[in-house]
Amino acid sequence: MIDGLPSRRIALFPATFDPPTHGHMETVLRGARLFDEVVVAVYAEPSKQTLFSAAERLELVQEAVRDLGVTNVRVRSYNRRLTADLAREEGACALIRGLRAVSDFDYELQLAHMNKALAPDVETVVLLASARYSFLSSTIVREVARLGGDVAPWVPRIVAERLGERFGQPHAPVNLPEVLDAEVGADRIAGFMSTDDRVR
């Protein structure tokens, strides 16, 4: 400990990961460059219904992280507890959050202030999504897969395989950015309005 700073900087990256996407994995990689260790925390029982079970989501994230080839990332699940409490248990100095678009900002701001009130020693670090993943969410991936589209460009290999098993073999790839632009909004695709995918 030097000047009140932890000797090892540990960050917690919590999400539902239903399923994990390349956007999630980009955040993991960037967090791994900033911190000595990143703990990816898969929330087991969110308030919304999930496509994959808690055990399946944990396995998908573990496999996706393994494919990244990083050595300072650990994956775990958690349930029925505050993320702030989990951060303290893990000795984390920061919570990593991904910000995709302006529409995410209000929610993330509220969440950051609440977590700061619950755990004053834990900072929230927001990583802006790269342009190529700024439109991407688990909700969009699930819906494209359900409608027969090929989601392989936007998810880890194991996720594409499991979605194929769940919904059948994909049809021709879908150009998501063009579809989203046509729908005028980062959360609309194929005529539907997606639900909030930011359960933590």
Catalytic-labelled residue, pool 57, 97, 138, 142: 138
Nearest to 176 by CA among 192, 199, 200, 153: 153
DSSP-assigned beta bridge partners for residue 173: 150
**Catalytic: 198?**
no
**Catalytic: 22?**
no
Catalytic-labelled residue, pool 22, 24, 162, 198: 24
**Whole-angstrom distance, CA of residue 62 vs CA of residue 82:** 22
**Catalytic: 162?**
no
**Catalytic: 100?**
yes
How far CA 39 is from CA of 27, 65, 85, in Å, comes to 12, 11, 14
Catalytic-labelled residue, pool 22, 100, 162, 198: 100
Residues classed as catalytic: 24, 48, 100, 138
